Structure 1
Amino acid sequence: MAQPRVARPRVIVTRKLPDAVEQRMVELFDTALNPVDAGMERDALIAAIQDCDVLVPTVTDTIDGDLIAAAGERLKLIANFGAGVNHIDLKAARARGIVVTNTPGVLTEDTADMAMALIVAVPRRLAEGEKLVRSGQWTGWSPGGMLGHRIGGKKLGIVGMGRIGQAVARRARAFGLSIHYHNRHRLPELVEGELGATWHADLDAMLGQIDILTIHTPLNDDSRDLIDARRIALLGSHVYLINASRGGIVDEEAMIDALEGGRLAGAGLDVWRFEPRIDPRLLALPNVVMTPHMGSATLEGRLATGDKVIANIRFWADGHRPPDQVLEGWM
């Protein structure tokens, strides 16, 4: 249903965005920016949603039911800066008649690059090798030095075969990995053929057959703790676990226990359950490659994300349905 036009909506942005994005927002809207690169405190968020037509949050903002309930009648659009919306209570927003948008697609290739980098880095022990060189303790090449495992010929299991999962599959196939995937819905036969991918309707069955597991499903009620202690136990001790999606999809305690106990070969992690806090036990493990949630951190990606946010706001302000409106059952 068409929305009434809003000539110059009041827009509040919760985090410092690229200068070009902020400049365009100021030109187009009645925009209030956050001058510092830090998330708003809870009280500041409440004040913001009571004083705007459009809120532009990021993944670091918790837009829960209580916060949405505190919003005045003025708030009509939450235009998220990013694709993931697990930090927004979609049901509460819908109940209040608040439209939620995100920015799908623009970060696909960047995130897939990061996942592939981790898929290579962990078995080949790149982080360990880099630390060895920096420590000054490297004594030179030797036949048995820094032995890792090749990835060519190994089986890659992908959980979540959407845009990012498919982009990872294309990269992995070029590295000689065979592609296995679990998804709610099977891909068309033509796409499976292009990717050389084998669908597993049963996630548990797939986990017992693979050498590397990479996660590319959104975080929601269905996927929270999807890779729990029971499923981690299904993975062989030779398996590497890669997560560049959301920390809450993996039971972090169970993963750490398995890594410490030698029941997993290693892990590559770009996301964390309690970001930015990281369990000290993970920091002590040499077979874990860790990056600071930087899978989408390219200038090009951030600018494209900003463009999508602006487009969503403009469509809404013109009385049209935004192109990236998120539905309650989003996956």
Structure 2
Amino acid sequence: MLIVADENIPLLDSFFGDIGRIHRVSGRSMTAEDVCEADILLVRSVTRVNQALLEGSRVKFVGTATIGTDHVDEDWLLSRGISFCAAPGCNANSVAEYVLSVLSLYAERRGLGDWSELTVGVVGVGNVGGELARKLDRLGFAVKLCDPPRAAAEEGDFVELEEALACDVVTLHTPLTSTGEHATHHLIDEARLSRLGRNQLLINTSRGGVIDESALLNRLAGPDAPTVALDVWRGEPAINPDLVNRVWLATPHIAGYSLEGKVQGSEMIYQSVCRYLGLPARKKAGQFLPEPALSKLAFTSSADEVGAAVTAMRCCYDPRRDDAELRRSMWQDEPHRRATFDRLRRDYPVRREFSSVKIQLKGSSRSSQDTFRALGFKLKI
């Protein structure tokens, strides 16, 4: 059995080596010739899986190690009897930690001693938005949830988009859809951008097309513009250098790139392949996670509660490092910018989630303990 896989999917040999022969290819440049003899195809979000790629191939199973599926023509796969699976929620915690790290920087920028003074509108309350909302709620933030499809289908404490857009922070976690009653393409358009002001932060970790980038560029050039942090971009990897230079934080689509998130994606598609083939799924992601480079931090009773939490978060992840890497590439010509964007993702350094670090607290308050637990750290008291 031949398994063709994006070379950036981690632990391919560990999970799939005893199922079939693995042929690694670049996900961005994958062609019909690469997959024509494959029985199983494993991809990430950079590969368009459609008739053009698979017509005439032997592929009977496609798995994407991602939460999003807008790069896959699911209707065409179904019409050809090709099984499909994704990895919903695999990197939800990673993205939530990215947003929390950005929030901590923004609170610092605003001079807030207590970051939970910020109100947060979460637009899209699926696996990622839901996980973020739970963390924010435990941390004491006032959170407003906006998810029109869910609001139409179920009871819940959801608000209209305009109400969410009035929060201090607006963070986007929707899929990218172009049709239907709740299409999200250019959801944040010129009119909605005009309602965002200088004391607001807009974060996008969903898909670039959810924001009208042309309208965003114009808004950022105007008076009282909001602060903007973008991890996703229209036309990746050929992103707009003018927009990179205008936004406050710019990262190369890596919000979900914690090691735990990526490995969990591999595990989820491994489980689906095993079900498809009728094989027992004996392997777990935890078997393959290495010892973290940073495993313990200690704070004494004199540590400030918020300051200690921020220090711990920044030790695990500081988005300014990714921002600096991406900005340096904007001085290159367009072909080199494209190549650098993909390289930054392909060669992304190991980033561990907060749960990989044990926090030792001496004489700490119950409030401080609750903060670290809400963030996901392990505690030793």
CA distance in 1, matches of 2:97, 2:28: 30
Aligned residues: 273
The structure 2 residue matched to 1:203, chosen from 135, 149, 161, is 161
1:22 counterpart (5, 9, 13): 13
Q: Within 2, Cα distance between the matches of 1:115 and 1:299?
A: 17
User: What SS does structure 1 have at the residue aligned with 2:108?
Assistant: coil
Q: Does 1:185 align with 2:150?
A: yes
Measure how far apart 1:148 and its partner are: 4.3
| Pairwise CA distance, 1:240 | 1.0
Amino acid at match of 1:218: P
Higher helix share: 2
Residue 49 (1) aligns with residue 35 (2)? yes
**3-state SS of paired residue (1:32):** strand
Unaligned runs of 5+ residues in structure 2 are 281-381
Deviation digits for residues 100-152 of structure 1, max 9, x if unmatched? 21112221111110122122323533xxxxxxxxxxxxxxxxxxxxx545643
* 8 Å CA contact retained: 1:225, 1:250: yes
Ranked by relative contact order (alpha carbons within 8 Å, sequence separation 6 or more), the top structure is 1
The CA distance in 1 between the partners of 2:271 and 2:220, in whole Å, is 44
Matched AA of 2:208? G
- Supply the distance in 2 between the matched residues of 1:234 and 1:255 (Cα, whole angstroms): 12
Q: State which of 27, 48, 69 in structure 2 corresponds to 1:39.
A: 27
Displacement after TM superposition at 1:217 (Å): 1.2
Query: For the residues of structure 1 that align with 2:145 and 2:278, how far apart are their CA atoms?
Result: 41
Counterpart of 2:46 (choices 46, 50, 60) is 60
What is the root-mean-square deviation in Å for CA atoms of aligned residues?
A: 2.5
Residues 146-177 of structure 1, C-alpha deviations (whole Å, 9 max, x = no match): x5456432321111111211221123234442
Give the 5 Å matches for 1:300-319: 300-318=260-278
- Cα distance per residue 1:185-207 (max 9 Å; x no partner): 24977xx6xxxxx421x323432
1:173 is matched with: 137
Tell me if 1:118 matches 2:98.
no
Residue of 135, 154, 157 corresponding to 2:121: 157
CA deviation digits over 1:186-242, x for unaligned, max 9? 4977xx6xxxxx421x323432x3221101111222211111112212333422100
Secondary structure at the residue paired with 1:122?
helix
- Corresponding position of 2:174: 217
Contact map agreement 2:124 2:174 (CA 8 A) in 1: yes
Take 2:217 and 2:20, find their aligned partners in 1: how far apart are those partners?
Answer: 47
Q: Cα gap change, 1:103/1:270 in structure 2, threshold over 3 Å: closer, same or farther?
A: same
Whole-Å separation in 1 of the counterparts to 2:107 and 2:248: 10
Q: TM-score, normalization: structure 1?
A: 0.75
Give 1:282 deviation, angstroms.
2.6
Identical-residue share of aligned pairs (%): 25
Distance (whole Å) between structure 2 residues aligned to residue 223 and residue 319 of structure 1: 38
Give 3-state SS (helix, strand or coil) of 1:124's partner: helix
CA distance in structure 1 between the aligned counterparts of 2:230 and 2:53, rounded to whole angstroms: 30
User: What is the TM-score when the length of structure 2 is the normalising length?
Assistant: 0.65
Q: For each residue in 1:55-98, what CA deviation from the matched residue of structure 2 results, as whole angstroms up to 9, or x when unmatched?
A: 11111112234334x243x2211111211111111122222222
